[in-house]
A and B are shown apart, each in its own frame.
Chain A
Amino acid sequence: MPEELYEIETDVPSNTVEEFLRMDRMPHIWCPGCGIGTTVNCFAHALETSDLNLEKVAVVSGIGCTGRVAGYVNLDSFHTTHGRAIPFATGLKLANPELKVVVYSGDGDLTAIGGNHFIHACRRNLDMTVILINNFIYGMTGGQVAPTTPMTATASTTPYGNFEQPFNLPYLAESCGAVYVARWTAFHVRHISKAIKEAMAKKGFSFIEILAPCPTLYSRRNKLGDGLDQMVYYQENSEIKHGADTKTVGIDFQSKIIVGKFVDVERPTYLDAMNDYYQKRLGDKYIPYKG
């Protein structure tokens, strides 16, 4: 290696997302090729280009690989218990409605152990954005089957392949009452940033599912190559279909992935509904709840 290489004054611009991250906590824990960091980058870009007052943005995570996101974002951030990010976020948001609350967690955390909270938050139309990173597997605990694992895919607890039908998450969210539902993959970085911005600007329960590679467990166990190979799979097999009927967007093993913005509707949020209803019902006796 030529010696002068060390002396070249590089002019690499500092990464503009750094101010949104807790750089004093780097390096992060995610594996090489993992897609979670990519999505965090997109999230930071969304914050960077939004005009949100970042003092009023809070991130809540559960437990798991994605659950660690709360620990890396330079915002008010809460790393809660397994499955319970949404009910924690419910309390946080209702106590202080001026906060923009983002729940950032994994598929197992939000839809297995936390599934009950997920459907009820959709139903109530709580004003929060849920970013769900779906890597089809439990990563932190070593690659067990998840409610999102495609049929036939193997996991450490389905060594002969999965025979349980997985959730179609956009369909689940829509049918439970989410007002914004989108799906992207870690390949679609610009779309993710845009979707996060849109979702955060949306009043009510907004939900973004992001498919992300887990090269260490899901890909390795299913012989799908490394993170890059999964990105190629996403690139080649994703079809953007805005407004697609969410019933039709279920995911089969290594097959076509429908992505896009599926749902964008209006419905009163939990707090708006409560204030409106009580005002009508109780009149002057009601003290409108402002937090």
Chain B
Amino acid sequence: MKADPKGVLTGAHFIDGDHACCEGAIAAGCRFVAGYPITPSTEVVERIAERFPLIGGIFIQMEDEIASSIAIQGAVWGGKKAMTVTSGPGFSLMMEHIGYAAMTETPCVFVDVQRAGPSTGLPTQPAQGDMMQARWGSHGDYSIIALSPNSPQECFDLTIKAFNLAERYRVPVMFMMDECVGHMTERVIIPPADQINVFERDFYKGPKEEFLPYHTNGKLIPPMVKAGDGYNIHVTGLTHDERGYPNITVATQEKLIPRLINKIKMNADTIADYREDQVEGADIVVVTYGITSRTAIPAIEQARKEGLKVGHLRLIVVWPFPEKLIREIASEASAFVVPELNQGQIVYEVERCAAGKVPVELVPHVGGTVHNPKDIYNAIMKMKG
């Protein structure tokens, strides 16, 4: 499917990441947004509030983030593509509903413009401290997808991708921006609508009487229906059988939960998205995501100038984590360097996959600003051995 041209502002723009995210959502076909004001994410919904009345969408500013994160799921079952937008403290409030979306397989997008925490922290300054929360923040076992853009252009492109992944896998997708990317203004090229691929929801098409809402027909992802179509669906956050009925038994849990995880795990290679720059044959591989993928570049270039073989692996899809790729690199390279705007989160994933084969050096940062490339350079030099 191609994007609906009605909402697509084709052309070259000079806009910030928050605004680009809004335009990406519109291009992806999102027509329902619920949100609550919180810096530095507010510009996304401000633009949505301005744009939606002109293109047939509906925005509602809810009474809090909890309400926003479940209103979007009501909207999805009403047939819309939907997202909510927040930052640290609001993201914390949304955790229960990320679990609800995972359990009920409600495709939706959670945008988190990360700021430095914990608690109220540094309200208008960047961090990457919510990466683990995005993966594990709700209770119980489930899986999600998380993307990490590093520029306004990617805020546009990857928001579309976030919606497409959400719809394809019926999973909540975390769009992990940060204040730097959200408030950074750069050129954003919005292509013509007919060049934007949009994944439309897989609505059930079989005979009505045979429909079972969570019957996957041997696959991992069941087709959806929406309320009002005459299927009398039942949706619950309780452990449920293929009819969608609560079934509080170990047997049903054993059938449901592994599928919720496997639909992401077994498609991890397809979902994976990363950029490799001279990773092959590198001694030291710098693993980055989001804004850190840019601050690392001067450090990497400096080290290369000095003759070091430094590779740069930039994760665009952070969750599911590209385990296989890191394992492969760990058997070729001699060290990893992982700069993060936090005190160490994704570095533990790199360590897990490196499994002691090679050392992994974290370049931590408390947030509030981005890394000084010098710190990353020093870490590279330290690992040169």
A contacts, CB < 8 Å to B:
22, 24-25, 55-56, 58, 60, 70-71, 74-81, 83-84, 87-96, 98-99, 116-117, 120, 274, 278, 282, 285-287, 289-291
Contacts and interface: CB of A to CB of B under 8 A. Distances in A.
Interface stretch (B234-242, B293-301, B314-322): B234-242
Contacts of A71: 234, 236, 245-246
Contact of B234 (A56, A77, A285): A77
B67 A96 contact: no
Interface of B: 32, 34, 53-58, 60, 62-64, 66-68, 70-80, 82, 96-97, 100, 226-238, 245-246
A289 B74 contact: no
Nearest to A91: B74
Given A80-B237, A99-B227, 19 more contacts: A56-B228, A60-B74, A71-B236, A76-B233, A77-B233, A79-B235, A87-B67, A87-B70, A90-B34, A90-B74, A91-B72, A91-B73, A91-B78, A92-B77, A92-B78, A116-B64, A116-B67, A287-B55, A289-B58
Q: Is the interface of B mostly helix, strand, loop or mixed?
A: mixed
B237 A81 contact: yes
A78 B72 CA distance: 14
A269 to B, nearest CB: 13
Contacts of B67: 84, 87, 90, 116-117, 120
Contacts of B58: 94-95, 274, 289
A52 B365 CA distance: 60
Contacts of A55: 228-230
B54 A87 contact: no
Given A58-B227, A76-B232, A287-B56, A95 B78 contact: yes
Nearest to B74: A91
Contact of B80 (A70, A76, A95): A95
B250 to A, nearest CB: 19
A82 B366 CA distance: 35
A91 B232 contact: no
Q: Among the interface residues B53, B96, B100, B245, which one has the most CB atoms of the partner chain A within 10 A? A: B53
12 contacts: A55-B230, A70-B234, A75-B232, A77-B233, A77-B234, A78-B227, A87-B66, A91-B78, A94-B78, A95-B78, A96-B79, A286-B54
